[in-house]
Amino acid sequence: MNLFVVTEMIGISKEAKNELKKSDTFDFNIFLLRKLTNGKELEATLTYILARRECISKTMVEINFLANFTKAI
């Protein structure tokens, strides 16, 4: 499952995706991401990073399971 599909499945906006692309830099603004994702920055960041590094497709983790896990945290 590629990055585009994963971000579409969890409903990340285009602006949030642009901010997530900066997640490996010092320019990453978690507070802006919180605003863009309506308080779901952990879910968006974790899912984005795991998808980008292909961990989701390699481990066959279900997106719904991952989303529920991050909500529980």
Please write the tens of the pLDDT for every residue from 23-58. Answer: 999 999 999 999 999 998 998 998 888 888 888 878
Q: For the chain, which residues make up each domain, given as ranges?
A: 3-72
Q: Rounded to an integer, what is the distance from CA 20 to the centroid of its chain? A: 7
pTM of the model: 0.80
Q: Rounded to an integer, what is the distance from CA 47 to the centroid of its chain? A: 4
